[in-house]
Amino acid sequence: MQPNPSSSALPPAWATQVESQLVDGEKVLAWLETDLDAQLHFASGLLVVTNLRLLSRSSTDAPWQDWTYRQGIMLTRRDHSGIGSLELADADSLLARWRYTLSNNIAAGRLIEHFLRQLSHHLTGELPPSPEQILCPKCQSVLDTPLPPGQEECALCSKEIYTPPSTWTLFRLWRFARPYKWRLLAGFLLTLGSTAATLVPPYMTMPLMDNVLIPYQNGKPIDTDLVTLYLSGLFGAALLAWMLGWARTYVLALVSERIGADLRTATYEHLLKLSQEYFGGKRTGDLMARIGSETDRINIFISLHLLDFATDVLMIAMTTIILVSINPWLALVTLLPLPIIAWLIHVVRDKLRTGFEKVDRIWAEVTNVLADTIPGMRVVKAFAQEKREAARFRATNQHNLEVNDRVNRIWSLFTPTVTLLTEIGLLVVWIFGIWQVSENAITVGVLTAFLAYISRFYLRLDSMSRIVSFTQKAAAGTKRIFEILDQTSSVPEPANPVHLPTVTGRIELRGVSFRYGTRSVTRDISIAIEPGEMVGLVGHSGSGKSTLVNLICRFYDVTEGAILIDGVDIRSLPVAEYRKHVGLVLQEPFLFFGTIAENIAYGKPEATRAEIVAAARAAHAHEFILRLPHGYDSLAGERGQALSGGERQRISIARALLIDPRILILDEATSSVDTTTEKEIQKALDNLVRGRTTIAIAHRLSTLRGANRLIVLDRGSIVEVGNHDELMARAGHYYNLYQAQARNVDTEDDLRRQDSALKTEEARI
Amino acid sequence: MIAQPDFQLSRNAFGRLVFTGPDGRAQEGVVPVRAFPIAAPDQGIALIDSQGHELAWIDRLVNLPDELRTLIEAELGSREFMPEIKRILEVSSFATPCTWQVETDRGVTAFILKGEENIRRLTPPALLITESHGIHFLIRDRFALDHHSRKILDRFL
């Protein structure tokens, strides 16, 4: 007998236990580690399918149970709000039930598959052929299509990687700084020079004191030449420091501005690549705040604070060297408070970092409240809820205040403490210095120089302590930016993409399931759509029609199963290349700000004017566009021309026509317009559909008359397939839907007629 | 006040609930669903058939006769899964995504938090954490947690 690959993968905790249960010639085919018990408490259990029976242990100390294969025995799985259950039943009753969290769902599916194979083997005597099984080398799950060469893990495992971003987030900015490294080096050298220049004047005070002033006090005349020399040295140093300082600030500001701009662009570009799933879970305000203000904060941090910090560190290092070279003992005393300040900075840093992260989050929350309310202003006003919205904003703002207050409490204490330490440090130097002078160990000049140095020195320390807050703010900002940059798209680009230059338009869905959170939206859908065929998706709202279309467009990736186009898994095609083959017409056509011509050419910016006009003609949009004051150059989109729903829809049809896709998806394309307009759109659509594989969703069943086949969905599964007449004859789901609509149609039409009559009247007024 | 409802409920050999309505028609695979699972778990419970249609509405669970109530409670108990976090033992990182080790009313477990936005503020002081597979973890009163848990949680709020 050959060793079974899945038995070797038994979790080590269970392996020996299972071995002891097996009889001769029995081998483990599949297993599932259940992580919940009957009362839904977290408890580890195991379920094993062998070639002889089903073995199970509900927890590590429960007795083993087993069931042999016999007639009527059945294993089924169900899931509900995040928990899956496997039920073993025979014809009369339920035999056992196991529960697990959905992270084990794939293993459960595999277990059932093996169980059913063995069952049929024991009942009929012959082993059904093992389904073409290709296992993912990483997670051992069964794949529907072979992995493209070079790809080492399946889409499911690449989805499951969750590693937190490193804590050294600020260093990750290097990726953006690298292109400017020479300019950065120049900036650093300039900093070095300018800092050194600022250290000359205090040094000059030493000879000025000892060689000029003290001798004068002792009765000697002032040596004018010496004074001129020292003072011109002072002036020269100041001038040099000014020039170098100007150059370095300019160079570094230039670089940081560019880094900031690169960061913003990179973040936005990355954002555009993320899947629809990501945007579903994020709020607009938060994303806008991240890209806008966070990048700016990082930018300022690099150009101002980081620069200051570098200067400070250099200054402190140089000062230390100078001080030690003049008098090591005095230097030691001077530098005494340094470790205390460093420790203080360290302590406060941790508290401040969490504080600033909180401030950022609450700030995003404030923006979110605005972003939620302003687009819905009509609703707010209609329901007279201004007061409530104001209260909501005030509450968030209050929260903002509280968080800020807490941060400020620590922060406000911090700066004065550093100042106090500085003063104490000065005091110590005075005491020690006076004693040394009295002992004649040092000259008055040395003491003066020291005092001049350390007043600068501590001043720098003080400003250095400020960097803590800015660094923390920038680190928090960087973290939030990299959260976007680290987000891998849940519709990942394949590592080794397959290119399909031409597509015939054959779409095949194999066992497609999709789950949104814990909610199973579509279940095990399998269907093949031939090139050029028009298929209508029918069902109640919430039956999974739009989800299916989103999956075919690859806005989301399937949870289980695969979607194939011309026999190739769409996950192995480059996303943008694949979407070029797909044309989409939505219920609410979205027009971007720009001219009508630009909107039509959105999917093909290089289109000629003739092509645009041809597309508009085919979409029956040409004539109304010509009636607009600026024709094709009229502005559409926000604040642009007021176009009616039907007109906007025809523009979006022209948009789809222009890219000439092989696959066309009409998602409720005619739902938001009245029947008259619908007829016009329908004419445009007929042009569009011709010769393309079309998947149409329509609420109004009458619009799907032209479809070759209708697929009736109910709660995520296909319940009926066939053309209109067949389905009517079957008197099933479709029949019920159709009857329900037929009853409404008359009244609906009446209402619409009244409605449009009103509209024309309004227009006349 | 306990009133006899106009329907019957029983459990069959397959462990499914069978509903017998006022018209005497029996339906198998009936599921009780709470309308307000967080805000008012004991008010408003609907009995839903396998097609998703509502069969009966129960205003308050306490108004039901004992046997019926235990039947429904047992079924709800075996279906509902919202572990309540009692203690946060450890988080792998303060940056998301990260793994949380928690002690819940259903035992110790670990889950992955994808982002801070998956921690939802309910009516204070309750919080609802949605993990990467969509399971909800409830924190009924975040101020009642111990100091260590509160400190960890605070980093994410």
pTM summary value: 0.61
Alpha helix (H) residue ranges in chain B: 66-79, 147-154
pLDDT tens-place string over residues A670-706: 766 677 777 777 777 777 777 888 888 887 777 777 7
Range name among A1-5, A283-287, A381-385, B82-86 with the lowest pLDDT average: A1-5
- How large a percentage of chain A has pLDDT more than 70? 85
Interchain contact A541–B (C-beta under 8 A): no
Name the residue among A89, A354, A357 with its Cβ closest to that of B14.
A89
CA-based nearest residue in chain A for residue B96 = A164
Q: How many beta carbons lie within 10 A of that of residue B54, not counting itself?
A: 10
CA-based nearest residue in chain A for residue B74 = A39
The pLDDT assigned to A243 comes to: 92
With H, G, I as helix, E, B as strand and everything else as coil, classify residue B42: coil
Residue B4 — φ and ψ, nearest 5°?
-75, 120
Query: B92–A164: do the CB atoms touch at under 8 Å?
Result: yes
CA-based nearest residue in chain B for residue A476 = B95
- Residues facing B88 on adjacent strands: B102
Measured between alpha carbons, how far is A10 from A46 in angstroms, rounded to an integer?
Answer: 10
Query: A162–B78: do the CB atoms touch at under 8 Å?
Result: no
**B155 contact partners, CB below 8 Å, separation of at least 6:** A354, A357, B94
Measured between alpha carbons, how far is A434 from A436 in angstroms, rounded to an integer?
Answer: 5
The pLDDT assigned to A159 comes to: 43
Query: B112–A163: do the CB atoms touch at under 8 Å?
Result: no
Name the residue among A42, A82, A519 with its Cβ closest to that of B107.
A42
Nearest CA to A164 out of B30, B97, B74 is that of B97
Task: Mutate one of B48, B92, B117 to test the A interface: name it (highest A CB count within 10 A).
Answer: B117
Question: A5-131 domain in CATH 3.30.70.20?
Answer: no
Average pLDDT of every residue of chain B: 82
Could you tell me the CATH superfamily of domain A173-486? ABC transporter type 1, transmembrane domain (1.20.1560.10)
Closest Cα in chain A, distance from residue B15 (Å): 6
Residue A198 has pLDDT above 80, yes or no: yes
CA-based angle A577:A582:A583, to the nearest 5? 130
Judge residue A739's burial from the number of C-beta atoms within 10 Å of its C-beta, 0-12 exposed, 13-18 middle, 19 or more buried: exposed
Interchain contact A78–B (C-beta under 8 A): no
Measured CA to CA in angstroms, residue A755 lies from A199, A259, A676, A762 at distances of 83, 56, 12, 11
Write the class of the CATH domain A507-578+586-764.
alpha beta
pLDDT tens-place string over residues A130-147: 554 555 555 555 555 555
CA-based angle A496:A498:A502, to the nearest 5? 160
Average pLDDT over residues A171-184: 84
Domain ranges (residues) in chain B: 8-79, 85-154
- Residues facing A46 on adjacent strands: A33, A57
Name the residue among A41, A82, A286 with its Cβ closest to that of B133.
A82
Closest Cα in chain B, distance from residue A522 (Å): 15
Nearest CA to B89 out of B99, B101, B98, B97 is that of B101
Measured CA to CA in angstroms, residue B55 lies from A251, A542, B17, B36 at distances of 74, 20, 13, 18
Measured CA to CA in angstroms, residue A701 lies from A537, A588, A650, A697, A742 at distances of 10, 19, 20, 9, 9
The pLDDT assigned to A5 comes to: 42
Nearest CA to A565 out of A492, A510, A496 is that of A510
Residue A164 — pLDDT band, cuts 50, 70, 90?
Answer: very low
Measured between alpha carbons, how far is A425 from A429 in angstroms, rounded to an integer?
Answer: 6
Chain B CB contacts of A169 below 8 Å? 95
pLDDT tens-place string over residues B44-83: 888 888 777 788 888 888 888 888 888 888 888 777 788 8
CA-based nearest residue in chain A for residue B84 = A41
pLDDT tens-place string over residues A463-519: 666 676 677 677 777 877 887 787 777 777 777 778 877 888 888 888 888 877 666
Residue A763 — pLDDT band, cuts 50, 70, 90?
Answer: very low
Helix (H) or strand (E) holding A682: helix A675-689
Instruction: Reply yes or no: is the peptide bond before residue B97 cis, omega within 30 of 0.
Output: yes
Name the residue among A39, A82, A162 with its Cβ closest to that of B135.
A82
The pLDDT assigned to A648 comes to: 83
CA-based nearest residue in chain B for residue A167 = B95
Query: B96–A164: do the CB atoms touch at under 8 Å?
Result: yes
